[in-house]
Structure formats: structure tokens, C-alpha cells
Amino acid sequence: MLQLLAPDGTYGVPKGYEKYGKLIEDLDEDTLKTFYRDMARIRRFDIEAIALQRQGQLGLWVPAIGQEGAQIGSGYAVGKNDHMFPSYREHGVALTHGVELMSILKMMRGVNHGGWNPEETRFHLYAIVLATQVLHAVGYAMGVKLDGKVGTGNPEEDLAVISYMGDGATAEGDVSESLLFAAVNESPIVFFIQNNQWAISAHIDSQTKAPLYTRGEGFGVPGMRIDGNDVLACYAATKLHMDQARAGQGPFLLEALTYRIGAHTTSDDPSKYREDAEVEQWKAKDPIVRFETFLRRQGVGDDFFDEVTAAGDQLAKEIREQTFALQNPPMENIFNHVYSDQHPEIDKQRAWLEAYEAQMGDHE
Amino acid sequence: MSISKFPLPDVGEGLTEAEIVSWLVAPGDMVKVNQTICEIETAKSVVELPCPFEGEVQELLVQVGDTVEVGTPIISVSTQGASPIPVVEDKTPTAAAQEADTGAEYKIPTLVGYGDAGDVKSRRSRAVKAAPTSTAVPVAMVAAAAGAADSIIAKPPIRKMAKELGVNLANLAGTGTRGEITREDVIGAASQASVFKNLTTPDVPSEREERIPVKGMRKAIATAMVSSAFTAPHVSIFVDVDATRTMEYVKRLKASVDFAGVKVTPLLIMAKAIIWAARRNRMVNSTWTDTEIIVHNFVNLGIAAATPRGLIVPNIKDADAMNMIELATAIEKLAAVARDGKTAPEDMKDGTITITNIGVFGVDTGTPILNPGEVGIVALGSIRKKPWVVDDEIVVRQVTTIGATFDHRVVDGDVASRFVQDVASVIEEPALLLD
């Protein structure tokens, strides 16, 4: 397993992984601070979103607490032309590519269907149906190759695709199909598995017999395990293999070993199926705490951390105000985006619903 | 200053109500945004609720033990000046803003009626520990829980169960692969322990009376019992029977290769007997609806189960279509799920006839009350050695009493008697099951 930052915050490059270490040693202090800032920011966002759900403001929330290292690290390694296909827990990756965090809250409240433009952010919409995004990602990557945007050597042209998935998704047939298609088409894609140990209540032991990083081998997709709670390992591994995919070296699979500290969603109660002691063991490997220790040893002082905490509280306050102020979308939104052009059947349905609503009177 | 009220949110997807388990604040307390104010128990779990306001608690609008519909205001908080969050009433933020200083009451809108709640009457029992509202950002490194090497092999749910049942895993020899401690090992140890526990005399509490609030599961049980007892005219009949051959049969099945790993008990033979007798006396396996009697040509066999939270009656769907092994497996699974408190509501719906195994408590017989919607219930009493007359001689036999209650609107005395006789015949001679 590639680990550059031990749980106690010690940095070290294991033998044979020098090319990964080199990528970290090229980073300046501002970039490292950005990693920290965004990990802390997305966790504060997450905590506030859970509270908002408990206050009746969101239909559902999907916490990513504990997985910030995997998400921020890999997110920053995605290049400027690359496309990302998330599952539904990648709030941290969304943050690294300018997706409005409010859009995610709106989706979880049910007032939009995501609302960001994947062509602008290159971060595609959340896929609630497990593992479907992996097929979409491979299809996109195959298209990229057909367009000739792989291995030209021109950084303005070339691009690769990254597909996120959880350990639970790997048990879906879609993922096996995706690996096969990616391998035989030599598609420019990195499969990024966040193995957070639990597929809702099903432990990883019931999802796979062999380690997940070996899952691609039979299909011809090489893989590697990385410490998903080590933001630096996640950055370096994603960067190196996305660069290789972009250069035309075909697909690669990364298994980031991490842990879902919170519930699967706010509708789940993990105390029913796992022990507190296990959660505590993983809290000791927290990605943010370990990176803070590292930064402090690099000479980063209290001022910086205080500023990050204050910024997080400010963000929480803002999203709280904005969420409470959210309005229900107009009814016609149901019909507006079914077809790009006007459609007689949709017009009929719209007219029927309008007549029905009118007859109900004011229901407030 | 204005008064803000917090309506009970739907914390799961499609929940319609919750019970207030505890209040962590009282009138007069100052509360902050996201401070935990109470714990609620939903059909899914116990959940902490964070306060959406900052201010002084005016009133707790619902009491501990109340079951409250989603959308009901549960607490009122007086917020200083402009509310720290945009409090809106009836989805018109401007109205709220205009009245912000007049002391008018505001209620925040919540997403009410999200999804389809379905039938919420029978709720799953659940863990009593609250799911934390949020996971705090660790501020210091937590020392890794290294400790001594753990030689006990047991899965987390089994360890958890052992903890709950007070079983020390270190004292157990696991019967699973490589000495893994199984669910059965833990249950076995727990029941072993309870045998001895029963022998101790508990201390009498110093209070002269204890008052237990009637709520939750106990309330649901009471409502069902009263509704059954006062709508269906109950008639109970009993018969003593020699169960020696049933006990021998159970012993033989236990020893047979086909039943390896399957739990065989007299209850299994009883279940088979009821299914057989119900086929011969169809009216006992029916439902009364005032306008018609629905006679079921299948048996969804209910088995009353005592759980830590009270009595529940899950049923085995289409039990009549099962062979002995399938039925044994189904009974074992039903009991294990019920003990874990994980019985799903649908498992408790659409039962057609019920067995209650009161014999496990050492009781000879009783007059069971019908499971609502059903017209027959059979009680299996304890099976013990007693004097029995065979060919005018007193011999020692394994004897039990079968008690049964019927809805007299549907089941006449002759049918009831024949049915109980049929059940008794099978207990006396299980070979009848071979037809």
C-alpha cells in the first residue's frame, strides 16, 4: 500500500515509490495549505448538512466524513481537461473543481436534480443508482479516444477520465463490464475506488474475496492500493496514473483504503451493525488530523489553522441561511427539461396538471 | 424578540411519527444553533435532534413518551431581535421579516410528508443507542486502540450481541470454523446463564410502587389485545395429550443426517400438526370481516415471540408449502431475527393462524388471545413426565396440554373440537404427518 504520510504525520517515501514522492516534493506550501483548507472546509460543510437534515431542511444527507483525504487528494490531481464521474458521496471532489456546494444541498432537498453543468465543471452529476457512473465514465473515455484526444503530447488537447465508486459498487456487474470495456479499448481512465469498508451494513468481507486493487487484473487493468486517509498518497497516485492515462497508457485502478466515520446516509444507524471500537480505530487514522500534524512540523502556525476554522464556521452559517431561504421550484420545471424541444405529449400532461392544481385552490 | 417553533422533522425517508425519548433542555435554558435538544425514537432508530435556533427555551410543547406526528411543533424558543436564521412562516419570508419584532410566532417549514410512509402501526424494534447527530472533528490524535492480540474469533454483530446479553466471549469455546464463536454459541451461553439467574431472588425495590408509562411497544400490544378480546367472542378449549412419540420423533430427526445443523424442537412438530389440522378444518384458518368470512387456502403461520421489547407475532408465509426442513429453518430464522429485534413490519402482517409456545416458560397451558385478524391460536404447553393411563395401567409418559382459542363468530364448537383433536392426534402419533 502506498502511504506517504503515516497516521502520526510523519512523511516518508517507501522504497520503489520514488516517482510518487517526487510529485509531492514538487508541490509548494500554498498547494499543501489548500489541501488542508479544503479537507477542513468540506468536513465543516458535511457536519452542517447533517444538522440541516435533522432540522427538516434536507430530505436526506450522505456524509463523507473520514474520506476527505481520498477526495481532496485525488480531486486536485485531476487535470484541467479531465472529466470526473462521481458516485453520490464525492462532495470533496466537487469542491476541488468549483461545483457550487449549495447545488448539492438543493439536490438533497429535492429542489433540483444537481443543477451544475458537467460541461463547465467536468464533474458529472451524482449517480444515485449504484455503479452506473462507472459505465458512463468508460463510455466517455472511449469517446475521448475516438476523438483522438489521447497521447497527442499536447497538454491543451489531451484528457483522461476518472470514475469514482465505493466498495459496494464493485459487487455490481456494471463495474466488471466497465473494466472489460476499458481494458480492451485501452481507454484513458482511472477507476478510483474509495473502499470505506461498509456498503451500508454489508462489510467489505462480504463484498470481495480478493483485495479490490486486484479486481482489474483478470480484465487487464493493473491496480494499486493506496492509503485513502493520506491526502498526499491520494494526490500522487491519482496524478501519476491520470497523467499516464492521458498519455495513452490505458486504464488503471486505485483502491483507496479509507473509512466511513458517519452513517451511510441520515436514514441509516450504523450502531446497529458495527462496533464503536472499530470506528475509534479509524478515527485515530483521521486524514485531517494527520495532515495538520504534518503542516505544523513544516512550520505552519496557529494563524493559518484559526483562519481555516473561522472560514469553515462562516461557510456553515452561509449554507444554513441559504438552505432555509430555499424556495420550491415552479411546477413547470417538471416538464421543462424532458425534451429539448416542445413536445405534444408533455404539453398535454402540463395542461392536465395545471387544470388539476387550479381546481384544488390555494392549498397553503 | 420573537418566538420560533421547531416542527418535528422527518429524519428518515418517509417517516410519519416519532416518540420523544428525552429532553436535554428545559424552559429557561439558553440554546445555541445545532445544540442537541432532544432524542427521538423513530421506526428506524434513536436520533438526536439539533436545535435550529439560538435563544431561550420558552416551552417544551411535547412531553417525553409522546408519539408525535412529523410537522408537530415540539419546542418554542425566543430568539433575540432578528432571528439568527431566516425564520419564515407559511413560505412567505417577507411576512416573517415584517413581523420579526412584534413577538409573533413563527414556524420553520420542514419537508413534511416526504415519501410514502406505508403502514407504520407495527414498528420494528430497534437499538436503544442514539445515532450521533454529527461526527465531531477530532481535535487531538486518538491513541490507536492497539492492546493485546485478540484471540477471540467472532463477528462484530456476535460480539455486540454477547455484550448485550452479558456473555463473556473469553469463556466460550466457539463451534464455528477455526473456533469462531457463532450466534448459537452466544445464545446457548446466554440461556444457560439465565437458567441460573432465575434461581436468585431479586431484591425488592424500596419504593412501594413502580409506575411504568404505557407507551411504544407495550401500548401497541395492549391496543391489539383489547381490540381482539372485545371484538371477537373468544372460546377456549383444552386437551391433555401423550407427547412421548413426538419427543422420540424429535430425537430421531435431530440425529438424522438431513437435519444436521437444523434446530428441531417439539414446536416444529406442533407447527406441522396445526398446518395439517387446519387443512382438515378450514374454518380455523380464516378471517372475519363483518360482511364475509375469508377462508385462506394457505397458511401464514404466526409464532408468538417474546423479545426484549415485548411480544411480537411474526409469521412464516406459506408455511403449508414447506417441507419439514424448510419449516424448521424458517422457525429458527424467525426466532433469531425476533430476538435481535430486527423483525420487519411485513413479517408481522397477513398471518392466518398462530402458535404460542408457552411451554418454554414452564407453563402447562393458558387461554391465548387471538392475534387480530385471525380466528385461531394454539398454545403449546410444557411437555413433562406425568402419570398416564395406558391399558388401565398407570405409566410414566411425556404429557402436554394443548390449549386453543377461537373466534366463536366463525368457528363453531364442533369444528374447534375436531381441530384440536386433530392437532392432538399428531402430537400423539407424528406418523400421521406421513399421511
| B234 catalytically annotated | no
**The model scores a pTM over 0.90:** no
pLDDT at B196 over 60: no
Q: In angstroms, what CA-CA distances link A212 with A70, A73, A223, A251? A: 16, 20, 9, 15
CB pairs below 8 Å between A and B: how many?
Answer: 132
pLDDT at B402 over 50: yes
Closest partner residue to A59 among B48, B114, B126, by Cβ?
B114
Domains and CATH numbers, chain B: 2-120 (2.40.50.100), 156-195 (4.10.320.10), 230-434 (3.30.559.10)
B54 inside 8 A of chain A by CB: no
- Contact between B112 and A7 using a beta-carbon 8 Å cutoff: no
What is the chain A residue with the closest CA to B112?
Answer: A56
Spell out which residues of chain B touch residue A262, defining contact as CB-CB under 8 Å: 132, 134-135
CA B33 to chain CA centroid, Å, is 36
pLDDT at B92 over 50: no
pLDDT band for position B165 (cuts 50, 70, 90): confident
pLDDT digits (tens, 9 = 90+) for B226-272: 888 888 888 999 999 999 999 999 988 888 888 888 889 999 999 99
The amino acid present at B69, given as its one-letter code, is E
Least confident range of A228-232, A289-293, B215-219, B237-241: B215-219
pLDDT digits (tens, 9 = 90+) for A111-150: 988 889 999 999 999 999 999 999 999 999 999 999 999 9
What is the chain B residue with the closest CA to A42?
Answer: B137
Cell 462480504 locates to A206
- Contact between B11 and A266 using a beta-carbon 8 Å cutoff: yes
- Contact between B157 and A289 using a beta-carbon 8 Å cutoff: no
- Contact between A54 and B11 using a beta-carbon 8 Å cutoff: yes
- Contact between A269 and B85 using a beta-carbon 8 Å cutoff: no
Question: Bridge-partner residues for B306, per DSSP?
Answer: B311
Least confident range of A38-52, A120-134, B66-80: B66-80
Domain range annotation of chain A = 18-324, 330-364
B124 inside 8 A of chain A by CB: no
DSSP 8-state symbol, A10? -
pLDDT band for position B154 (cuts 50, 70, 90): confident
CA distance B156 to chain A (A): 6
Closest partner residue to A267 among B44, B52, B143, by Cβ?
B44
pLDDT at B230: 82
pLDDT at A288: 98
pLDDT at B103 over 70: no
Which of the pair, B203 or A186, is modelled with greater confidence? A186
pLDDT band for position B167 (cuts 50, 70, 90): confident
Tell me the three-class secondary structure of chain B, residue by residue: CEEEEEECCCCCCCCCEEEEEEECCCCCCEECCCCEEEEEECCCCEEEEECCCCEEEEEECCCCCCEEECCCEEEEEEECCCCCCCCCECCEHHHHHHCCCCCCEEECCCCCCCCCCCCCCCCCCCCCCEECCCCCCCCCCCCCCCCCCCCCCCCHHHHHHHHHHCCCHHHCCCCCHHHCCCHHHHHHHHHHHHHHHCCCCCCCCCCCCCCCCCCHHHHHHHHHHHHHHHHCCEEEEEEEEECHHHHHHHHHHHHCHHHCCCCCCHHHHHHHHHHHHHHHCHHHCEEECCCCEEECCCCCEEECEEECCEEECCEECCHHHCCHHHHHHHHHHHHHHHHCCCCCHHHHCCCCEEEECHHHHCCCCCCCCCCCCCCEEEEECCCEEEEEEECCEEEEEEEEEEEEEEECCCCCHHHHHHHHHHHHHHHHCHHHHHC
Least confident range of A8-17, B280-289, B300-309, B323-332: B300-309
Say which residues have a Cβ less than 8 Å from residue B43's Cβ, sequence separation at least 6.
B12, B15, B120, B123, B124, B126
Instruction: Please give the average per-residue pLDDT across A243-264, as a whole number.
Output: 97
Q: Quick one: which of B434, B431, B427 has its CA closest to B244?
A: B427
Q: Which fold has domain A18-324?
A: Rossmann fold (3.40.50)
Q: Choosing from B408, B418, B425, B428, which is the catalytic residue?
A: B408
pLDDT at B98: 43
- Contact between A269 and B44 using a beta-carbon 8 Å cutoff: yes
Closest partner residue to A47 among B6, B109, B134, by Cβ?
B134
Which of the pair, B369 or B134, is modelled with greater confidence? B369
pLDDT at B179: 85
B160 inside 8 A of chain A by CB: yes
Instruction: Please give the average per-residue pLDDT across B367-381, as a whole number.
Output: 91
Question: Is residue A221 a contact partner of residue A183, using CB atoms and an 8 Å limit?
Answer: yes
Q: How far apart are CA A164 and CA A228, in angstroms?
A: 13
Closest partner residue to A43 among B90, B110, B137, by Cβ?
B137
pLDDT at B341: 80
pLDDT at B231: 83
ipTM of the complex: 0.81
pLDDT at B115: 42
CA distance A233 to chain B (A): 20
pLDDT band for position B193 (cuts 50, 70, 90): low
pLDDT at B178: 83
CA distance B97 to chain A (A): 12
B126 inside 8 A of chain A by CB: yes
Catalytic residues of A: 260, 264, 273
Provide the percentage of residues in chain B whose pLDDT is more than 70.
81
CA distance B104 to chain A (A): 19
Question: Bridge-partner residues for A166, per DSSP?
Answer: A194
Q: From the candidates B74, B87, B111, which should be mutated to test the interface with A, based on the most A CB atoms within 10 A?
A: B111
Question: Bridge-partner residues for B242, per DSSP?
Answer: B399
Q: How far apart are CA A57 and CA B234, in angstroms?
A: 50
Q: How far apart are CA B107 and CA B332, in angstroms?
A: 50
pLDDT at A65: 97
Which of the pair, B132 or B312, is modelled with greater confidence? B312
pLDDT digits (tens, 9 = 90+) for A93-120: 999 999 999 999 999 999 988 889 999 9
- Contact between A286 and B138 using a beta-carbon 8 Å cutoff: yes
Spell out which residues of chain B touch residue A309, defining contact as CB-CB under 8 Å: none
Q: From the candidates A206, A266, A267, which should be mutated to test the interface with B, based on the most B CB atoms within 10 A?
A: A267
pLDDT at B116: 42
Provide the percentage of residues in chain B whose pLDDT is more than 90.
38
pLDDT at B122: 39
Instruction: Please give the average per-residue pLDDT across A184-212, as a whole number.
Output: 96
